[in-house]
Amino acid sequence: MNRFCAIALCWMVTASAPAFAVQPDEVLSDPALEARARVLSQELRCLVCQNQSIDDSDALLARDLRLLLRERLKSGDSDQQVLDFLVARYGEFVLLRPPLGWNTVLLWLTPGLLLAAGVIVLLAAGCRRSRAILTEPALTPQEKARLAGLDDPKST
């Protein structure tokens, strides 16, 4: 029973970890603006952590970006204007899902190309293996004679 409680406690702490990133003093008083801010901050990459959104990150730069985002929303900017401002300042790297363009086409196509290459390698290996199983090695004349001798009931 104690083990179950410990596992449940660890799971709850782990599951609620992203909720700790946004500090209470950052939250906007207007629930609609705060909801927009949370949606936008989940689309922006933490420039320190690089694999987390600024909504999930505890880094100081992520906090600064969250505050900047909320300031822009309070001043009346649209969601796209906020994103455009941050992209102009930090580049497309700040977006967790950069748009498909000539400079990001490799980023978007690499997973599909790797998957296709893996399938081709597996198919080629399977074909090679099936051909190796189906191909019998040729017998030498001595092996053929010995084999014929095994089938002959008179030789025993």
pLDDT of residue 84: 92
Handedness of CA 19, 21, 25, 29 (dihedral sign): negative
> Where residue 117 falls among pLDDT bands split at 50, 70, 90?
very high
Q: What is the pTM of this model?
A: 0.56
Distance CA 15, CA 56 (A): 12
118: tokens are 């893996």
pLDDT of residue 11: 66
User: Which residues are bridge partners to 45 per DSSP?
Assistant: 53
> Where residue 136 falls among pLDDT bands split at 50, 70, 90?
low
Q: Tell whether the model's pLDDT for residue 19 goes beyond 80.
A: no
Name the DSSP class of 27: S
Distance of CA 102 to the CA centre of its chain: 21
Distance CA 120, CA 113 (A): 10
> Where residue 15 falls among pLDDT bands split at 50, 70, 90?
low
Q: Tell whether the model's pLDDT for residue 129 goes beyond 70.
A: yes
Distance CA 44, CA 34 (A): 15
Domain boundaries, the chain: 2-94, 105-155
Q: Tell whether the model's pLDDT for residue 153 goes beyond 90.
A: no
Distance CA 67, CA 61 (A): 10
CATH class entry, domain 2-94: mainly alpha
Whole-number mean pLDDT of the chain?
Answer: 81
35-78 pLDDT, tens digit each: 888 899 989 998 888 788 888 888 888 889 999 999 999 998 89
Region 102-127: mean pLDDT is: 88
Q: 100 or 21: which carries more pLDDT confidence?
A: 100
